[in-house]
A and B are shown apart, each in its own frame.
Chain A
Amino acid sequence: MFELLGIPPQAFFGQLLLGLINGAFYALLSLGLAVIFGLLNVINFTHGAQYMMGAFGAWMLLNWLGVPFWVSLVVVPILVGIFGMVLERLFLKKLYHLDHLYGLLLTFGMALIIEGLYRRQFGSSGQPFENPIPGGINLGFMFLPYYRAFIIAASLVVCLATWYMIERTKLGSYLRAATERPDLVQAMGINVPRMVTLTYGFGVGLAALGGVLAAPAYQVNPTMGANLIIVVFAVVVIGGMGSILGSILTGFGLGIIEGLTKVFYPQGSAIVIFVIMAIVLMIKPAGLFGKQK
């Protein structure tokens, strides 16, 4: 069948796999953004920089302290998450009473600062990072590197766990309630400001986790977050700005669509997501899974 389309199976499944891997990152990052936006109504432009901090965190721990990758996978998101919480307490909090666009501008500025500092320290070319699971398995119709398969699995697990926590647990129900009526939730004795801070930290931690996962696959590079963040914005808008399930499904889905575009029409692969976003915004402005508020 593939010979009919003029494309050998390795190429097709290979691109599909790459698309799924990209989708894994899109899903993980847009999940963090969606969680933050859902509760704080802040578009976290710093998300890309925090993703980059995650990757560099893993690199620094490995190269300066000899900490193995598997430990970094747990430790680095926590560290970067704490950094995020500090940012929220010190700066973001002050803007909640203003128009949401100020939050966007503030996080944009913070992203510039972080990226600038890292570029100052490390230059803008990449640092290599050892692949923790080298090798792969030849499936016949394609070659599947072990680590890339791990990325997809890890992302799926984290996304589903997060979805479960938010949609099915008591903690998640407090979160969802606070999104709708923070005053009532506060009145019931729940410390809403602290929940907001923790939520921001959690979202940032998700970004950092994405960064740690990305380190062995791509180079660790101060600019790695900058271009990814714009695509992730598009994913979040398509999925629906506050929808958890929406970001996960849209993330993986768009990754696959992008991969397929690379097979059949490579020149369009960079813009296909934006075209879809423009269309969705015109037809269903709240996003595919969003709720019109």
Chain B
Amino acid sequence: MNVSATPASSAAVPTAAAPSVASGRNGLLLFAAFVAVMLVLPFFGGYPLFLMKVLCFALFACAFNLLIGFVGLLSFGHAMFFGLAAYVSGHVVKVLGWNMEMGILAGAAVAAVLGLITGAIAIRRQGIYFAMVTLALSQMVYFYCLQAPFTGGEDGIQSIPRNKLFGIFDMKNDLTMYYFVLAIFLLCFALIYRTIHSPFGQVLKAIRENEPRAISLGYQVDRYKLLAFVLSATLTGVAGAIKAQVFQLASLTDVTWQMSGEVVLMTLVGGMGTVFGPVVGAAIIIGMQNYLASLGEWVLVVQGLIFVIVVLLFRKGIVGEIADRFKRKG
């Protein structure tokens, strides 16, 4: 046994290298299959509210994964973007009467600004310290939300109306809402995919693999990290804003550190650093919560067990392990 002497190693959490599963033609086929399935699921017994919940959290996990999987920064405070965006979008839609898409944009914008501020503070540290800073900043946002009048404290913002989309489309029907949410998800997913496979994404990977070398090559590493952080925060904000519109409720649960922990779990289970991993992870965890909902406290226990088992035995996550198998075969 060797105990490392340096508390804050700059090596990131080991992630699966971009697996062959997701790139190239395989990836495109998988994606097409996914889209097809999601399009028809409501007609085969899929409950739209449940599916929308999965999509929201899948987007949340994908945005989170951008940071941990491709930049190597484990944030334990992402709930602050998720929850604050939910509150803001709920407020502007309910109290100011804005249209639905404006509500979502407002939530995303606020998340972006918060991401910029907190990112500027947090980026200066790495590893464990980065996680601790994000946790502390998230707690500050939580206590702010607890006391700010517009959030409604323990009651949350309730009865958020489903305002018209672009002022034209009536969104009260759950099925209509579902296709809208699906469209947003696919858009953001495509955005993340393009970001990962762009020159920007390559630089991020370089920073994750060997930061000193990236610096020596002349890259302004901090700027890249901050940009990735803000992007991650913004997309998380989109997820939070959508969630408020779908469930017509924004509450304190969305800004707790337990929520931050949940998104870590989803990404871990699915596979950090993979493209589809977070989606799979979100589907599994949300599905499990739904299935065990009547058993109350067991949900906590099961989540904890999954955490422990995955960390001990399946660190690459489901998609990561599958990708590994493919690589070994081929």
Closest to A94 in B: B312
What is the interface of chain B mostly: helix, strand, loop, or mixed?
Answer: helix
Q: Enumerate chain B residues within 8 angstroms of A270, measured Cβ to Cβ.
A: 143, 146
Q: Enumerate chain B residues within 8 angstroms of A43, measured Cβ to Cβ.
A: 128, 132
Contact (Cβ within 8 A) A274 B308: no
> Known: A96-B2, A196-B3, A241-B7. Is A105-B268 also a contact (CB below 8 A)?
yes
Contact (Cβ within 8 A) A120 B307: no
Q: Enumerate chain A residues within 8 angstroms of B6, measured Cβ to Cβ.
A: 293
> How far, in Å, is B52 (CB) from chain A's closest CB?
26
Contact (Cβ within 8 A) B136 A277: yes
Closest to A118 in B: B297
Distance, CA A40 to CA B301, complexed state (A) = 26
From A65-73, A75-83, A278-286, the one touching the partner chain is: A278-286
Q: Enumerate chain B residues within 8 angstroms of A248, measured Cβ to Cβ.
A: none
> How far, in Å, is A37 (CB) from chain B's closest CB?
7
Distance, CA A274 to CA B122, complexed state (A) = 13
Distance, CA A111 to CA B315, complexed state (A) = 19
Contact (Cβ within 8 A) A109 B140: no
> Known: A99-B9, A181-B5, A293-B6. Is A106-B308 also a contact (CB below 8 A)?
yes
List residues of B (288-306) whose CB comes within 8 Å of A's CBs: 296-306
Q: Enumerate chain A residues within 8 angstroms of B257, measured Cβ to Cβ.
A: 230
The 10 closest A-B pairs by CB, nearest first: A109-B307, A112-B304, A116-B300, A113-B304, A116-B301, A120-B297, A109-B308, A119-B297, A270-B143, A274-B136
Contact (Cβ within 8 A) A234 B136: yes
> How far, in Å, is B209 (CB) from chain A's closest CB?
14
Give chain A's interface residues, CB within 8 Å of chain B. Answer: 37, 39-41, 43, 91, 93-102, 104-106, 108-117, 119-120, 178-183, 192-193, 196, 226, 230, 233-234, 237, 241-242, 267, 270-271, 274-275, 277-278, 281-282, 285, 293
Contact (Cβ within 8 A) A112 B307: yes
Kindly list 10 other residue pairs between chains A and B, CB separation below 8 angstroms, not including A101-B128, A114-B304, A230-B135.
A94-B312, A99-B12, A99-B13, A101-B131, A106-B312, A109-B306, A115-B300, A182-B1, A281-B132, A293-B5
List residues of B (252-277) whose CB comes within 8 Å of A's CBs: 257-258, 261, 264, 268
Closest to A97 in B: B2
Q: Enumerate chain A residues within 8 angstroms of B8, measured Cβ to Cβ.
A: 100
Closest to B307 in A: A109
Q: Enumerate chain A residues within 8 angstroms of B308, measured Cβ to Cβ.
A: 91, 106, 109-110, 113
Contact of B1 among A193, A241, A242, A282 (CB under 8 A): A193
